[in-house]
Structure 1
Amino acid sequence: MHPNKYKASYKELSNWFKINTDYPPVLRKRIYYLLIKRLPDKNKKKLYQKPLFENYLRGYGEDNHIRGYSLPIKNKYSKNIKNKVSNLMSEEKHDRLINLINSNVNDDANYLINIINEEIKKVFFKGDIHTSMKLFDMYVNSLNAPNPNIFFRAGINAYRLGSFKKAKSYFNECNKIVQSYNKWLFAGCSYWESLLENSEKKKSKLLKKASKLPRTLYGQLAIEQLNISDPFTWRNYANQTEVNFSYLNENKIFKRAIALTEVGLYNHADLEIRNLYSKTQKDELNNLFYASEKLDLPAVLIRLGSKYYKKDLTLFMRGLYPTPDWQINDGYKIDKALLFAVIRRESAFNFKAKSSKGARGLMQIMPRTASKINNDYRLRYSKAYTLYSLQLNIEIGQKLLNRLMNSPNAKNSILDTLIAYNAGTTRLKKWKQSIYNVQPIVFIESIPIKETRWFVKYILTDLWIYRDKLQQAKPSRALLAEGKWPKYKNLDYKIIHDAKFRR
């Protein structure tokens, strides 16, 4: 199968395909296509059945993503509608646009308002916050259809300008209608309004609303403000005592998975567990979950954990926030909470992850960056494929995080480090010059690139959740809740060995 070395013959492929019927369908499909390609007689194609995925556990990451609200695709004319709105705004034909929205039914009106919100945000992120405020005020006061997205962004804009009374009004309006929208927006509106509330009773009520969404940035900050414990339970004693691997130990597929993990081929073992999922009875799924945890297979563990959504909160959270006990050759230079938070969001622990821009592996390392950090130009060209390696990817990723953290721009700031990791040091420097004298959460909401803005929110949230799982303090959360710039502190010296099964 090698492109320029030994090539398996049709006969060898055919024999393999017939014998290894219990292999993961994703592997069998590769052999199938190669086999069909080398058929001496195309009429024999009917002799081989194309492998079916059936109940094979596919995909990476969690089932129920908590993401920022995005524009819905209404129909095939959506692009034309967006262009029309953009043109009317650029030509400052605001009255015409307002009439267009107010004459539409609610769904279409909300869709158009979301487009307007995106257009005004472009002005805001360019730094012209006075103009963007005027636009927000004009549209909010003229539109009949209430929309929480535009209220939230208008509130952030007013807060930056020091118009706190106006900001509070916008966040209050956002809170009235946000329940049916995204969880992040719900928590955000409640938290921001609490910052502007003078009444301690009302402030506490708003923070409690936000704290009920602990897997969001503002839910975590609300928990800190209220000085309450995180609501997660990481150890399920009842289930833990019922673990029985006898059924699995007799299974040929499971034996292969064990053998693969013993030689460090976690990505291949991951495929075997996904394959086994389709052949496992419902009453054995708990054992498969615990086995995946024991074998340090975080990618499939996230997929399995998602299946416990609204069924078993403990296994749901343990699955979604795995803590594999991988032995790294050069050790952990960055503590596991931060490292796993980055890996979870960058690749969902998929060893073979590759972005459209060419970033590779667990920590999504660009070949060019890798070649500079390791002083090896081959990593940019002929050896770029080695970035899929667990050892090399984490080695370079840790070096990169350390370098960014200790740079003059970041100065050990966790926030600056994450921005530089995602968007680069040049952009970080530029944004710090243009967005100045603001609180750190205001800075986060003012990051011009949406991907970077959400990257920072996601990583900070996941970092604090991992800290909770590892029974560590959350100094960066405390600082951010106080309006101070959070610093990075390695807390791994406090980790105890059974962190996987915390509580």
Structure 2
Amino acid sequence: MKRTSRRVLGALTFMAVLAGAGAGLAQVPRALSDSDRLSYTTAFDALRQGQLDAARETAARIQDRVLLGQLEFERLFHANHTATYEELSAWLEDYADLTPAPRVYALALRRRPDGAPEPRRPGVVASLRNWASVQAAGGESVGEDIFTPPGPREARIALNADDLPRAYELGIALGDHWTAGLAAWRMGRFAEAFSEFEIVALDPLEDPWVRSGGAFWTSRAAYASGRQDRVQEYLRLAGRWPATFYGQIALRQLGEDPVIENLGPQPYMAVIAAADRGPEPMAVEADALAAFVASNDQARRAVAFHELGRSEEAQTELRNGLRRASDDDRTLWAALARGLAPRRGLSSAVRIDANAYPMPVLEPEGGFTIERALVYAIARKESGFEPQARSSVGAYGIMQVMPTTAAELAGDPGFVRDPQRLWNPAVNLRLGQAYITRMLGMGAFQGDLLRAVASYNAGPGPMLGALRRLGPNPDPLLLIETIDVPQARAYVEDVVATYWIYQRMMGRPLHTLDAVASGATHIPLALDHVPPQPAGTPESGASAETR
């Protein structure tokens, strides 16, 4: 398979800003009539209250059968009902393509009488969370609980063990599309990576940091799989969250840095917002979306669940629809996912009040020895600038320094005997800087910002392990995602994103951001170095990129 240059992947949109047309958000059509919506609500409420007969009576009056399969599934599995093989088999005959089908099939196998025909197998395993148990159900060694799925972290465990095929399959089975996408990417299966990352990017209920990352990696996978026409739209989607790690990289690649508005006498009075990049991408006409929902049962189920306020079921239908969609239908599924989000009160335009990035006066003993903005970013994350903070693991002070680490760095065992000395901000800041400087100076890290920040949180071990697994000169973004400690992965993205925001607010360079956006494999903190200034009130100037 042809190898794709990582630098090309990073630089392609950084060097060429495309002028793609934006698109509005199509109105999602209704799936249920008022009477059916009321009847479904009444029936599901009756089931929750254990009134099974009342639920069936209400269901008999429903005209639109789109959610009857879910309603009957919940009746069959209710604690007050013991489903017979005949009931389970009949359900599978009518609803074998629904999400709960693997669970119904597994129970039907357990309750199948001797000599009875095998129940209908699930036609499409919409959710594979229980499929491992279903496969085991025909054997003699089946345990009492055959519905127990693989653990939620098993896909990530397989990825950490470099068992990429298993990580990919488990990621799909468990709905861990992020891990499935990373596994596919590492195997060079970029089309599959695109599909998995896209599901993350378009999930309107997902955390913005995760969605931004999903959108950025979808953009990378789009280019790597030959879908250059999809690159920009996902960079723009990632850039909707301009305070996130991947959002800032995406905007830099597009040449559209965040704008600092309402700049007051102090930089922390600013409000940072994404530059106006035009409307939502991937236009879909309202008539086309209405026709799609009317003709696609799964899309109708997603909208119907949404109308009933059952967001988890709606998102399951959306994710499964996206996973199986053809290229032609994928745009419609994506539009449907976006169209449902605003109706749940989610904003499509994020503004970040820079009051969330305070800049109190910090005066380290001996002054600033690393970039001032990085000290602020770490202190904000570690303690919220609280000088007398103490963690559950025994770290102290504004930069959360461990007493044993302080003793080693300072050559003073007194920090172990009297750790409250670390509540002195000047001392704590000096030692915190000394530790990050040590991480920067490690031979394997080569002064790299991302490697050093990850190691400030978790120690150098996890990063060294990721470097061993990926080999020399790895893609720095893949390197971060390969760290096997979840907290460290989140930490480096949070702190580095905050560092870049502080750099803007202080009017300092963003050459490290440029390096990441252009696809460099080495991100030295020294790229952002400016001559040191005396400790005291932080600068209030703004760069040419702010207004």
Q: TM-score, normalised by structure 1?
A: 0.58
- Once the two structures are TM-superposed, the CA of residue 393 in structure 1 deviates from its matched residue by 0.2
Query: Secondary structure of 1:232's match?
Result: strand
Asked whether the 8 Å contact 1:336–1:492 carries over to 2, the reply is no
2:216 is equivalent to residue 191 of structure 1: yes
| Residue in structure 2 matching 1:468, options 504, 518, 531 | 504
- Name whichever of 402-411 and 368-377 sits farther off: 402-411
User: SS state of the match for residue 525, structure 2?
Assistant: coil
| 1:156 equivalent in structure 2 | 182
1:180 aligns with 2:218: no
The answer as to 2:529 corresponding to 1:491 is: yes
Once residues 248 and 129 of structure 2 are traced to their aligned partners in structure 1, the CA distance between those partners, rounded to angstroms, is 42
Instruction: Pick one of 236, 254, 265 that aligns with 1:208.
Output: 236
Q: What amino acid is aligned across from residue 499 of structure 1 in structure 2? A: E
C-alpha distance after superposition, 1:281-321 (max 9, x if no partner): xxxxxxxxxxxxxxxxxxxxxxxxxxxx99x968x31x211
Tell me if 1:335 matches 2:371: yes
> Which is helix-richer, 1 or 2?
1
- SS in structure 1 opposite 2:394? coil
Partner residue of 1:118? 153
1:96, distance to aligned residue in structure 2 (A)? 5.2
Q: Does 1:412 align with 2:447?
A: yes
Following superposition, the deviation at residue 426 of structure 1 comes to: 3.5
2:400 corresponds in structure 1 to: 364
Equivalence for 1:449: 485
What residue identity is the alignment partner of 1:346?
E
Amino acid at match of 1:122: I
**d(CA) in 1 for partners of 2:503, 2:245:** 14
Structure 2, gaps ≥5 residues long: 1-105, 107-127, 137-147, 270-346
User: What residue ranges of structure 1 are gaps of 5+ in the alignment?
Assistant: 1-87, 101-111, 141-146, 242-308
Q: 1:390 aligns with which of 404, 425, 428?
A: 425
Q: Distance in 2 between matches of 1:326 and 1:135?
A: 47
Give the equivalent residue in structure 2 for 1:170.
Answer: 196
Q: Which residue matches 1:219?
A: 247
- Contact residue 395 and residue 401 of structure 2 kept, 8 A: yes
Q: Give the Cα–Cα distance (whole angstroms) in 2 for the partners of residues 399 and 481 of structure 1.
A: 28
In 2 relative to 1, CA 435–333 (structure 1 residues): closer, same or farther, beyond 3 Å?
same
> Where do 1:58-137 residues align within 5 Å?
95=131, 97=133, 116-137=151-172
- Give the secondary-structure state (helix, strand or coil) at the position aligned to 1:179: coil
% same residue: 23
5 Å matches for 1:309-324?
Answer: 316-317=353-354, 319-324=355-360
Name the amino acid aligned to 1:491: H
Q: Is the 8 A contact 2:201 2:210 kept in 1?
A: no
Report what 2:382 is aligned to.
346
Say if 1:352 and 1:388, in contact at 8 Å, map to a contact too: yes
Partners of 1:406 and 1:386 in 2: how far apart?
26
Residue pair 2:455, 2:462 contacting (<8 A) in 1 also: yes
State the AA in 2 paired with 1:169: S
CA displacement, residues 50-107 of structure 1 (integer Å, 9 cap, x when unaligned):
xxxxxxxxxxxxxxxxxxxxxxxxxxxxxxxxxxxxxx9xxx996354699xxxxxxx
Aligned-residue Cα RMSD (Å) equals: 3.4
> Counterpart amino acid of 2:394?
G
Aligned equivalents of 1:498 and 1:119: distance in 2? 46
Q: Deviations over 1:370-400 (max 9, x none)?
A: 000101111012x211001111100111111
How far apart, CA to CA, are the structure 1 residues paired with 2:261 and 2:476?
30
Structure-2 change in CA distance of 1:475 and 1:119 (3 Å): same
Structure 2 counterpart of 1:430, from 465, 469, 473: 465
Structure 1 residues 191 and 410 mapped into 2: Cα distance closer, same or farther (>3 Å)? same
SS of the residue corresponding to residue 260 of structure 2 reads: coil
The number of aligned residues is: 321
Higher relative contact order (CA 8 A, sep 6+): 2
- Distance of 1:234 and 1:500 partners within structure 2: 13
User: Contact 2:201/2:212 (CA < 8 Å) preserved in 1?
Assistant: no
